[in-house]
Amino acid sequence: TGSLGDIARTLASNLEHSGLHPEFTLDDGAARLPTTVRGTAARVMQEATTNMIKYAPAGSHCEMQVSTSGSCVHVHAQNPVRRGAQPAGEAEAPGAELTSGFGLPGIRERVALLDGSVEYGAHDAAWCLDVRIPFA
């Protein structure tokens, strides 16, 4: 998987090349995550970035934060959403694929395997994704 810092730099570059203004913040604990949790966090970050590219208005500010507290990692992503555009969630048709082939339902499934939680939706004209994954 590589380090989450390296992944964040690559994803930020992808967002910049797509005309967005990313802000990634990772705390020091992100470097010490177990491999399985780090891999899932990386996939969450990739899917959030894919959705930002697909749904955020050109030139908008997009945020991604990865923080650890105790024995839990929290991935938070937030971006403005173009009017009428919204990432698909549970209502997504079976077999439907987003560009990354992972999608929000896939995030929920993968995070559930690690006893984590996922919340997403529109809040105050912004799309927010919050993922929490416990680790030993």
Mean pLDDT over each residue of the chain, to the nearest integer:
88
Q: Report the alpha-carbon distance of residue 100 to residue 79 in Å, rounded.
A: 18
Q: Report the alpha-carbon distance of residue 121 to residue 134 in Å, rounded.
A: 22
The confidence score (pLDDT) of residue 97 equals 38
Q: Report the alpha-carbon distance of residue 34 to residue 135 in Å, rounded.
A: 7
Asked if residue 125 lies in contact with residue 65, where contact means CB atoms within 8 angstroms, the answer is no
Q: Would you say residue 119 has pLDDT above 80?
A: yes
Locate the domains of the chain by residue range. Answer: 4-134
Q: Is 53 helix (H, G, I), strand (E, B) or coil?
A: helix
Which phi and psi angles does 131 have, rounded to 5°? -125, 130
The pLDDT confidence band at residue 1, using thresholds 50, 70 and 90, is low
The confidence score (pLDDT) of residue 125 equals 86
The confidence score (pLDDT) of residue 100 equals 46
Q: Would you say residue 16 has pLDDT above 50?
A: yes
| CATH code 3.40.30.10 for 4-134 | no
54-94: pLDDT as tens digits: 999 999 999 999 999 989 999 999 999 876 655 555 444 33
